[in-house]
Chain A
């Protein structure tokens, strides 16, 4: 019995001196190994009188469990110390610069186009594209702009061969093509984004190449108020819920009535500033009810069908939305530091 008490004391003493897992395991051998102290004491049970065996056994178990408890305690402590040491050794200067992983950005015009496409597709508009090298027939003739029509002046055009082919001056020919291709003459909802070209000298506000997005809706009993509602949604989506919209009478050969699409100035909320030239309103596009002649040119009966068309200059929208003042920013040598500014999701 005294032996057991001695072992207990010894466990306490030896455990205090342990500094490593190795030393701890050596202790385990010393106490619990084949020739270990506790093993040894345990074997003494044979020489113990029967009536005392039970108590002796309990004492031995007690000391064994004492050792195991201490052992686990210290092991855990030492392991933690070891990990902590490793963590210390792992320390780095987290303020050093990162490794650059590149994910590219859409072009600002594409970003805006995709935003509009997403919105309008949710409203049932299909996205349709057409050729940039186009026939005069589709770009002008069928759009109520016969040869020699003065309104062709506003769109000084790049002609190709015999003046029958040209670089399209607007995306409207895609509307013509879509209407002509629709054999059942069923309702149409499309938007047509794309590149367009006019003979303008490039400067801060003019570009011989630019981007339009036109929309066309053909159905029955369509009115200007439907156009207004549609424009409202687009304007608020691009420039914020607070935007108000207005129509101003205008002229396009392929629509009648024709309107300019204005939004209340997002910069000054209509008080008048540089951006809206003091008027409180900004023109962002043109629109109107599809001209009866265009409908019939494309095989739709104006007595049955009506529709509206609208068009935006994407560069203009992007300039307004992102605060770009020179249209050449979109085209001429593009520094990647410009491109990268559009490498993030946008919010209103």
Chain B
């Protein structure tokens, strides 16, 4: 959050409307999400002229208040209300935080035309027991009656809430943000004062620092003595609060204040408790420290620590140690302003779950200029607001790279990448307002990237982006890349999947999308020749901890859900990728269905979902893929335990099992649900021929029916196999048209009736020719399957 009153210390906003300014800044890529004015309408400074006790209450008072335009009567419950006090009055129409509108009212029968306010009621202070007990806010006696009290208090601030891109988190700080304001308004930034009056006593005579790790590239230390810890001045309190931080005391507040100015976190040690030495090093494995929050932390060799030469006094960039904390009685302070390896700070703060305003800033990377300025600024403020005495000199360890980042870029390169037509002046004006120094060498701009902009890298694209965003992307015309003459295509496997998907829809299935991550329990369902599963390293919860191998547990859940919602006819499919611990991807086709395939609510033309319907659907898909005559279905007792052992089929193509379908096992679901799961990868691996037209037979066909009585355990397929073999070339189709059990047939027998089609593509068949084959079929079936011809 950015306080615009604060920003105005560094840049002249020329009275521009702050909402308009926010829009302009947002357009340059610094997103301002919310513009909030602390002002409230219908607030005035009032003068209490008279106070009398409420006739019907022992704690309310009836006050006559001069609000400038009139003298009005207000009932007030605060104990500190008294004659001659200057107060903040919310008149009828004022809307206080929490959407609380002030209206004329009667309080226990007495008219009240407004409210005398405390600061917390106006959202200008946090509501605590302390602020509550203070009662109404007492203005000084010079406060002008009838004027705006918020303005009078200097609280008429406008707060920007930012939603920054991760490369520009520096703009959460007021000075870097001021540079963005300056860029938009084409003006300059004035940095705050860092002047001090150091005493002739050098820190070098009192203290030494040593850095023993390359993960600390800069370490500055200064000493301030004789500080007086006390409350902060009002403006510091207010500004910290608008930025979302609580005021603690002047010394701690100054460290935060400077951080919110430059973005450089500081650490203040109690010098007397610290000793006379600092050593920065990596922690030892299992080394322990008690941090400010009074918790013991265990460290390892990836954590940077500040020590007094021996014991840890601070976890670098993350949190100070309890042993050297600044307290009420602290007199002498050692200030640290340092740059640590962002990766280490990030690692440590995440590991210890101690991400703070400071650690976030270290993580994003800091610049040495501000590191140097911030420590001076802190001294300035401690001298001014904490009565401290600054010692001469700064102890410094500095291995930062000072090489300037310089980029050469031409106007043509800028215009080519942006697709704009900028001229030289447009570019220099953008660079000027950004505060980037540059030289012009013929057609080249030689740009020096300021040290404060750690996000801008040393390449042309970065400079072009800066110029572009300040000049304005609204100026980009729409063009199109030169058209490629070829139309785009789906990757072959994608096309294959899409085609199957469309076929499934044509067959009546609705597509669903379910989660890839499932629970262990779900992953234990519908396991079908699976390898081990992939488990997440750090799942969010156990319900979503495993990368699924089958889509059917989700499918079943979805169907049951719909049944419970009285959607009785449900057909769903999903095609999604599954994985196992070899990281091999397999795309699975799954579908599930229940209820009626075709339904009519009032006549009896329903077609109910059953095994044979599902079999037909599977055949339809396989035929669609050109696999006719290459697949067989086999009842299997090796399918997942959720599948009915007697009502299922494994799908075999070219002797390879590619999936299965079947009824859900009654102990898994009481409902009549069928599911199917097929490996798309396996289907995709099958080579299929292109469509070739085949002439229809010119010669007539001859159809013959026959039925056999066979043992009940003989399957339809057993019989058709024998028929097919005996039928030879002339038999072109076998169709089962009746299954009969019951009267006239022995108990353990059944009758199956077939319709056979005979044809010859070369001539008209004679009845005699067919009869030879037909009789052969009958005798083969009779002898091989102990069948009895029932009818022909």
Asked if B538 is at the interface (CB within 8 A of a chain A CB), the reply is yes
Interface residues of B in 728-779 (CB under 8 A from A): none
> Smallest CB–CB gap between A129 and chain B, Å?
5
Q: Are A107 and B562 in contact (CB under 8 A)?
A: no
Interface flag for A128 (CB, 8 Å): yes
A104/B537 contact (C-beta < 8 A), A246-B474, A337-B567 known: no
The residues of B that contact A333 with a CB separation of less than 8 Å are 557-558, 561-562
B494 — which chain A residues lie within 8 A by C-beta?
127-129
Choose the segment among A50-58, A60-68, A70-78, A153-161 that binds chain B (4+ C-beta atoms closer than 8 Å).
A153-161
Q: Does A330 count as interface, using CB distance less than 8 angstroms? A: yes
Contact A335 B465, CB 8 Å, known A159-B537, A343-B510: no
Given contacts A102-B571, A333-B557, contact A224 B473 (CB under 8 A): yes
Contact with A along B315-359 (1 / 0, CB 8 A): 000000000000000000000000000110011000000000000
| Residue contact A100 to B600, C-beta cutoff 8 Å | yes
A258 at the interface (CB under 8 A from B): yes
A150-B342, A289-B461 known; A132 and B490 CB under 8 Å? no
A217 interface contact, C-beta 8 A: yes
Q: Is the CB of A249 within 8 A of B364?
A: no
Asked whether B504 is an interface residue with its Cβ less than 8 Å from the other chain, the reply is yes
Residues A251 and B165 in contact in the complex (CB < 8 Å), given A133-B547, A150-B364, A336-B570: yes
A residues near B690, Cβ cutoff 8 Å: none
Task: Tell me if A274 counts as interface (CB < 8 A to partner B).
Answer: no
Whether B168 and A251, one on each chain, are in contact in the complex, defined by CB atoms closer than 8 angstroms, is yes
Closest CB of chain A to B617's CB: distance in Å? 12
B476-530 interface (Cβ within 8 A of A) = 476-491, 493-494, 498, 501, 504-517
Task: List, sorted by A's number, 20 A–B pairs whose CB atoms are closer than 8 Å.
Answer: A100-B596, A104-B504, A104-B511, A107-B513, A123-B488, A125-B488, A127-B488, A127-B491, A133-B579, A148-B347, A150-B169, A161-B537, A208-B517, A217-B481, A226-B481, A229-B480, A246-B473, A333-B557, A335-B561, A336-B570
Task: Report if B193 contacts A (CB, 8 A).
Answer: no
Annotate A282-304 by CB proximity to B: 1 below 8 A, 0 otherwise: 00000001011000000000000
CA distance A304 to B481 in the complex (A): 16
**A189 proximity list for chain B (CB < 8 A):** 484, 488
Contacts of B347 in A (CB 8 A): 148
Bitwise, A119-160 to B at CB < 8 A (1) or not (0) is 011111111110111000000000000011011011000111
Asked whether any CB of chain A lies closer than 8 Å to the CB of B613, the reply is no
Q: Does the CB pair A103–B505 fall under 8 Å?
A: yes
- CB within 8 Å for A335 and B477 given contacts A125-B488, A150-B364, A330-B513: no
Do residues B461 and A224 form an inter-chain contact, with CB atoms below 8 A?
no
Asked if B416 and A221 sit within 8 Å, CB to CB, the answer is yes
Nearest chain B CB to A336 CB, angstrom units: 5
A100–B535 alpha-carbon span in the complex (Å): 43
Q: Are A289 and B481 in contact (CB under 8 A)?
A: no
Determine whether B418 belongs to the interface, using a CB cutoff of 8 Å to chain A.
yes
Contacts of A121 in B (CB 8 A): 487-490
- List residues 207-256 of chain A with CB under 8 A from any CB of chain B: 208-209, 217, 219, 221-226, 228-230, 232-233, 245-251, 256
A306 B490 Cβ-Cβ under 8 A: no
Inter-chain contact A133/B534, CB cutoff 8 Å? yes
Assembled-state Cα–Cα distance A191/B577 (Å): 19
A257 CA to B461 CA in the complex, in Å? Answer: 6
Give bound CA distance, A199 to B537, whole Å: 12
Q: Does B469 contact A (CB under 8 A)?
A: yes
Note all chain A residues with C-beta closer than 8 A to B602.
Answer: 96-97
Which B442-496 residues sit within 8 Å CB-CB of chain A? 455, 459-462, 464-465, 468-469, 473-474, 476-491, 493-494
B510 and A336 within 8 A (CB): yes
B542 within 8 A of A: no
> Does A195 lie at the interface of the complex (its beta carbon under 8 Å from any beta carbon of B)?
yes
A-B contacts besides A195-B576, A230-B481, 7 pairs, CB < 8 Å: A106-B511, A128-B491, A150-B346, A224-B417, A224-B476, A225-B478, A245-B478
Question: Which residue of A106, A131, A197, A228 is within 8 Å of B419 (Cβ)?
Answer: A228
In this complex, what residue of A is CB-closest to B481? A226
| Interface: A167 (CB within 8 A) | yes
How many CB-defined contacts (below 8 Å) exist between A and B?
261
A98–B606 Cα gap in the complex (Å)? 12
Specify which of B166, B465, B479, B509 is in contact with A228 (CB 8 Å cutoff): B479
Query: Is there contact, CB below 8 Å, between B511 and A148?
Result: no
One of B25-33, B199-207, B639-647 at the interface: B25-33
A251 to B487 Cα, complex, angstroms: 32
Q: Are A165 and B583 in contact (CB under 8 A)?
A: yes
Residues of A contacting B515 in the complex (Cβ-Cβ under 8 angstroms): 208-209, 331
When the two chains form their complex, are residues B469 and A124 in contact, meaning their CB atoms are under 8 A apart? Answer: no
Which single member of B29, B506, B597 contacts A248 (CB below 8 Å)? Answer: B29
Contact, CB under 8 Å: A225 / B27: no
Across the interface, B484 reaches (CB within 8 A) one of A124, A249, A258, A335, namely A124
Closest 7 CB pairs of A and B: A225-B419, A249-B29, A223-B419, A257-B465, A251-B165, A121-B488, A102-B508
- Residues of B163-216 whose CB lies within 8 A of A: 165-169
- Nearest chain A residue, comparing its CB with the CB of B491: A128
* Interchain nearest-CB distance for B650 vs A (Å): 25
Contact (Cβ within 8 A) A208 B544: yes
Does the CB pair A228–B478 fall under 8 Å?
Answer: yes
Question: CB of B605 within 8 A of chain A?
Answer: yes
Question: Is A348 engaged at the interface, CB distance under 8 Å to the other chain?
Answer: no
B585: CB under 8 A from chain A?
Answer: yes
Q: Tell whether, in the assembled complex, residue A256 and residue B489 are in contact, meaning their CB atoms are under 8 Å apart.
A: no
Distance (Å) between the CB of A81 and the closest chain B CB?
31
Contact yes or no, A132 B516, CB < 8 A: yes
Residue of B nearest to A120 (CB): B488
The answer on a CB contact under 8 Å between B477 and A334 is no
Query: Is there a chain B Cβ closer than 8 Å to A4's Cβ?
Result: no
Select the residue from A98, A99, A224 with max chain B CB neighbours within 10 A. Answer: A224
- Find the B residue at minimum CB distance from A99: B600
Is A110 in the interface zone, CB < 8 Å from B?
A: yes
State the Cβ distance, B715 to closest chain A Cβ, in Å. 31
B598 touches A126 (CB 8 A): no
Complex: A104 Cα to B599 Cα, angstroms: 15
A100 touches which of B544, B569, B579 (Cβ 8 Å): B569
Contact of A159 (CB < 8 Å), options: B482, B538, B557 = B538
Contacts of A154 in B (CB 8 A): 166
CA distance A46 to B729 in the complex (A): 70
Distance A109 CA – B602 CA, assembled complex (angstroms):
35
B491 touches A129 (CB 8 A): yes
User: Measured between C-beta atoms, what is the minimum distance from B670 to chain A in Å?
Assistant: 19
- In the assembled complex, B363 has its CB within 8 A of some CB on chain A: yes
Judge whether B440 is part of the interface by a CB distance below 8 angstroms. no
- What CA separation (Å) do A260 and B342 show in the bound complex? 27
Q: Contacts A124-B484, A340-B510: A104 and B573 contacting too (C-beta < 8 A)?
A: yes
Q: How far is B294's CA from A229's CA once the two chains are assembled, in angstroms?
A: 59
B290 within 8 A of A: no
Question: Per a CB cutoff under 8 Å, which of B417, B488, B536, B585 touches A126?
Answer: B488
Q: Which A residues are CB-close (under 8 A) to B596? A: 100
Q: In the complex the two chains form, is B512's CB within 8 Å of A334's CB?
A: yes
Chain A nearest Cβ from B500, distance in angstroms:
12
